[in-house]
Amino acid sequence: MNLLQLAQESNIIQAELGLVVLLFIAAFVAIFVRRFQRIPYTTALVVVGLGLALMPNFLNLDFGADVILAVLVPPLLFEATLNIPWNRLQSDLGIIALLAVVGTLLSTIIVGGAVMQFLGIPLAAALAFGALISATDPVSVISFFRSLGVSKRLSIMVEGESLFNDGTAIVLFNLALTAGLLGIDSFGPGQALQQFVVVSLGGLAVGLVLGYIVSSLILKNVDDNLIETTTTVALAFGAYVIAESFGKFVGVPDLHFSGILAVVAAGLMVGNIGLQNTSPTTRLTLENFWEFAAYITNSIIFLAIGLEINLADLRLFIVPIVVAVVAVLVSRAIVVYTLTWGYGRIQPGKRIPLPYRNVMFWGGLRGAISLALALSLDGHIFGATFATELRVMTFGVVLFTLLVQGTTIDRVIKRLGLAARSGKRVEMQRRQARLYAQWAGQQELDRLYNEGILYKEMWEAMRQVYDGKIEDNMQALLEHLEVYPELEQELFLQAREDVLKAERSAIGDALRRGLVSDDVYHELIESLNNRLAAMEILKENRGLGDEAD
């Protein structure tokens, strides 16, 4: 074995050792947070990372931009999109797209203009900083949403904006780098807009095509949980790689699409089509695997954030950091309150309540994407001094959002009255979940019998057990609703809303089949939309929102 091989083997062992140590640290932090429950898990990881960074040459791990973007981020995005139902995302897709695209662009301009004006940073570099710091990371916020029982609609809007503005921020960041390389005057707005549209839509198209292929050909036809799980892993990373390297596959080396948006689109396809085509066993395996993968990558990313931040550098650049933090907060307030207000004027039936907007403003944390893009800055384009200043400013903003906003968002949610999880509602949801699980088990039992896997006597015996459990749980649920009649009203309103949405879907299907004309379709859809809007207002007036979901 020569010296080169020894060196390579040593690097591999060093990296493996570092990963093992980080996982053990993450496990101990999780145990501490679960026991004391005073700060979010991700924030605790950053604090621990900051402490470890004070130790000289701790593990000597290199968390470069490529490692974060190409290895750690795809599993996070894919797992998040698996759990987002398209019908819910679609109902608020307008405001999500507005915040993710227009909002990110406005934030880039506002923050970029502020740091250029007050810190003397060149325009291209300032816009690059504005773009990289505009990507929100709601991991800590979403965990509070789930524990406090916050409205599903608010959760979808916050998470949906984050998923799509990540891709938008990266595209804008790359455009700013190109402008810095070619000169801001030689890179016109028309050319920038064209490149933005191509990169964004191209990434979405790659993800949709790959996700549809996996969902329709493999997840639908292969009933093997290991094969299907392996395929989704290949899809999550493959969508990113294929989109980013698309030009190499078609003979146009300079052509590339957004890998982040490709992963988001692929995850949505699998979550809304693929998981419906699989058996309950496979679906459970997929959900458990991706939950574990997201947990691991989240832990590593937030430890990496702490490890990469140098507290000495923060003290040296305290004034630029303060300017950046103020600019980010002001831009977030302008984007959230202005765009949601305008959207409510255009779509009165889908207006965003003020408490929701307050949470969306204060919950705009920054994390992995901002860190990765900051680490990719070097001195070749903007100069070593400005690159260092932008990196430290990014670290400062990320640290502020995680340590200040991340540790107070739960109090904001409670003060605004959005923590809707009461004991009676939790008990109702628990009984509903048991019924839902037992019905699913009964359907799977019938499928096995119909396919000849179970013989009649075994099927009858097992079905009798299921019938008894379902009857007992149904009776328990009815008794619970008799004690709390307001929950029965909540269930009725939610069922009525689901029925109206099913009617709307059926009318769309009738149009595609040629059973109704365009005029009749639009007339019926408008009527249904008005009834749905009335349902939303009724739920809000009763203080239900969409908590029952």
Higher pLDDT, 420 or 432: 432
The domain locations on the chain are 13-415, 423-483, 490-549
Most confident of 376-390, 394-408, 503-517: 394-408
Burial class from Cβ neighbours inside 10 Å (0-12, 13-18, 19+) for residue 133 reads buried
Q: What is the CATH number of domain 13-415?
A: 1.20.1530.20
Average pLDDT over residues 520-549: 63
Give the pLDDT of residue 67: 80
Provide the mean pLDDT of the chain.
82
Q: Which residue has the tokens 């605004």?
A: 416
Average pLDDT over residues 120-141: 87
Higher pLDDT, 535 or 523: 523
State pLDDT tens for residues 183-236: 766 666 677 778 888 888 999 999 999 999 999 888 888 878 888 899 999 999
State pLDDT tens for residues 13-30: 776 777 788 888 888 888
* Residue 274 near residue 214, CB atoms below 8 Å: yes
pLDDT category at 469 given cuts 50, 70, 90 is confident
State pLDDT tens for residues 268-327: 999 888 887 777 777 778 888 998 998 888 888 888 888 878 788 888 899 999 999 999
Residue 341 has pLDDT above 90, yes or no: yes
Tally the C-alpha atoms within 13 A of residue 95's C-alpha that lie toward its C-beta: 32
Q: What secondary structure does DSSP assign to 256-292, as a single string?
A: ---HHHHHHHHHHHIIIIITTSS-HHHHHHHHHHHHH
Percent of the chain with pLDDT over 90: 23
Measured CA to CA in angstroms, residue 490 lies from 264, 332, 429, 466 at distances of 33, 34, 12, 27
Q: Which of 147-151, 248-252, 332-336, 422-426 has the lowest mean pLDDT?
A: 422-426
Distance CA 448, CA 514 (A): 37
Which runs of consecutive H residues, i.e. helices, occur in 133-184? 139-148, 152-182
Give the pLDDT of residue 3: 47
Higher pLDDT, 403 or 549: 403
Percent of the chain with pLDDT over 70: 87
Q: Which of 27-36, 194-203, 522-531 has the lowest mean pLDDT?
A: 522-531
Most confident of 53-62, 68-77, 482-491: 68-77
Give the pLDDT of residue 151: 78
Residue 364 has pLDDT above 50, yes or no: yes
Residue 331 has pLDDT above 50, yes or no: yes
Give the pLDDT of residue 6: 47
